[in-house]
Structure formats: C-alpha cells, structure tokens
Amino acid sequence: MKLLVTGGAGFIGSAVVRLAVARGFHVVNLDALTYAACLDNVSSVADSPLYAFEQADIRDRAALDRVFAEHQPDAVMHLAAESHVDRSIDGPGDFIETNINGTYNMLEAARAYWVARGRPESFRFHHISTDEVFGSLGPEGMFTEETPYDPRSPYSSSKAASDHLVRAWHETYGLPVLVTNCSNNYGPYHFPEKLIPVVILNALAGKAIPVYGKGENIRDWLYVEDHADALLTVITKGKVGRSYNVGGENERTNLELVRTICAILDEKRPRENGSYADLITFVTDRPGHDLRYAIDPARIGAELGWRPSVSVEEGLAKTVQWYLDNEAWWQALQSRKGVGQRLGVKA
C-alpha cells in the first residue's frame, strides 16, 4: 500500500512516516517545509527504498496534481496544517489558507485522481483533525463522535471547517473518506513552541516555566507514537465515511502535567539547588482558553481494537529522556521565528 502523507516533516506526520515505513508501507511525504517542519524528524527513513519526499504546498493545486500523477498513492493521510493555537490568535490568515483552502485543494486533487482511476473502492482520504473542534467541556462529560462542533479559536475553527469539507466530499462526491479527531499529543520531535517541550527546555536552561492562567486547564494527553499507531489502524481497518475519536485516557491539568515533568527532570538531571518546580511561573492566560478537553475513545476501541499503549507518566519519562539525548535537534530549532517568545496575547 502506498500512502501519501501530507505534513510528514512535522511532529505527528513524521511519527506516522517513521512507523509506516517500519511496517512496510510505501510512503510519499508531501510537505511545504514551513517553520514547523524539520526533515531531521524523518532522517531515519530517508534512505529507505519505501520512502520519497516531495516539497510541495497544499495551497498549490498544480503541485498536488503532479504529486498524485507521479506517485499514484493508494491512500492519503492528510496532516499538513498550521497547528499552533497561539499563532492562530496573532495571524489567523495562514490558518484559513492552509487548513481550509489547502484541505479543499487536497480534496479536489484527490477526487480528480480517484475519478480518473475509475473510483476504486479501496481508495482512502484520511483527514487528521483535533478534538478542539468540539469546543470546551466543563468538569463532567467527554467528547464522542456525535458531540456537536463548537470551535472557539481561529485554529480549531479552521480545522472544523476542513472536517466539514471532508464529510461533504464524501456525501456529495462519494470520495471514500475517514476522519479522526485526536486529543493533545506529546513525545519526541515535538516542536519547541508547544507546552511540553517549552517546560523541558526552559527547565534545563534554568528559565521561568510559564503556566497559562492558574494551570487549571485540562487536556487528555496522548503519546505521539500511539497516535501514529491509531492512524495506521484507522486507514487500514476504518469504515468509510466514519469518524473516530482518538484519546489517551490521560486527563491532567496543565499544572499537574508541568509538575510531573519537573519531578522526572529532578530525577534524571537534578538541579544544584532545589527542584525544577521552583521555576514554575503563572502568566497571563490565553484569550478564549478552552477549560477542558476529554475524549471518549470507545468507538475506536470497540470497532478497531485500538488502545493507547502508555500512561502519561511512562510517555513523559520517555519524552524527557529523548530531549536530554537529542540536544542538537532542539538547539537547531531555537532560532526559528517566534520560538521562545510569548505568542497569542494580542487579542
């Protein structure tokens, strides 16, 4: 099976590419190489005969047509997106163009290719989305696949729009689509602007560890390699036209999460004086910060037999160790625009 993976030089896409190649899939990685990309993320498979890379922008329809024609994929896994909520507050335009218009281009390029091949039933267009499209939960309840959409940030609303387009292309044109909505991911190769790497890297540098608001926001954390495994399960076994929620069953407040990371660092690389937790600093909250996300992963468990393999404590220990062992990777990204700065407070 040949997969066309978009966004394969990013955090989750690269985990999908590495796992897919390890499992014997042919993979074409299509990525525009924006600020969030890093080809080192896929260096372990770059020389594999199963792997090809195409630098292309999903906003460029002609480039997409060329890639489909040249590589003739059996399925698409569409992960390319602008993904950082704070950046979406400062500059929503890129999110509209890539997440909405880019997904529209992907759908149209995939549809033209699928129709030209005689509409094979086995073709799949798998759209990778987020639980943020469902909005914010109170203390009780969980997001199911039937939860009404209620996105609240420019990022989540652009992802919600793209989910609707994907479903419409299935209903209207019969394109064989799959949609997954996943909770917050963490793990190796996480770009150093996101919460968990910020905590690890600021702690190691002896800098303040910023926690938005009172740190009470709750997220359901999923180890990125478990997410990649879920995505390959869905693309091979998922039912056409269906959506699947993917979660880690690991709800933690941001403050609990940050304290856990500090405790792991205290053990692995003790500070000379005190605990890393002494560096925790509460900062102005993100505008419109959703209080709680929690995924009910019952459908993917019951229908496809998928479950996360690690608890958040195990996954965080592996992640912290990875950042300790891969300083050259994250040092090289420190000079990228916006990294190390507080973004998304303009609103």
Ligand X SMILES: NC(=O)c1ccc[n+]([C@@H]2O[C@H](COP(=O)([O-])OP(=O)(O)OC[C@H]3O[C@@H](n4cnc5c(N)ncnc54)[C@H](O)[C@@H]3O)[C@@H](O)[C@H]2O)c1
The half-sphere exposure of 123 on its side-chain side, counting CA atoms within 13 A, is: 22
Q: Which is nearer to ligand X, 273 or 335 (CB)?
A: 335
Give catalytic residue positions: 131-132, 155
Q: Residue 121 CB, nearest distance to ligand X (Å)?
A: 26
Give 162's Cβ-side CA count (13 Å radius).
Answer: 37
Cβ–Cβ < 8 Å for 207, 340 = no
Residue 310 phi, psi dihedral angles, 5° rounding = -125, 150
Instruction: Select from 177, 179, 183 the least CA-distant residue to 297.
Output: 183
Pairwise CA distance, residues 281 & 194, whole Å: 16
Min CB(274)–ligand X separation in Å: 31
CB of 211 to ligand X, least distance (A): 18
Distance from the first to the final alpha carbon of the chain? 46
Which amino acid, 71? H
Element of type H or E holding 86: helix 85-90
Residues in contact with ligand X by CB under 6 A are: 6-7, 9-13, 31-34, 36-37, 57-59, 79-83, 98, 102, 128-130, 159, 182, 184-185, 191
- Shortest CB 83 distance to ligand X, Å: 4
Kindly state the smallest distance separating residue 46's Cβ from ligand X, in Å.
15
Closer to ligand X by Cβ: residue 149 or 174: 149
Q: State which residue, 40 or 266, has the beta carbon closest to ligand X.
A: 40
Q: In angstroms, what CA-CA distances link 304 with 125, 203, 232, 234, 299?
A: 18, 39, 11, 7, 8
Q: Which residue is nearest to ligand X (CB)?
A: 10
Query: Whole-angstrom Cα distance, residue 308 to residue 156?
Result: 24
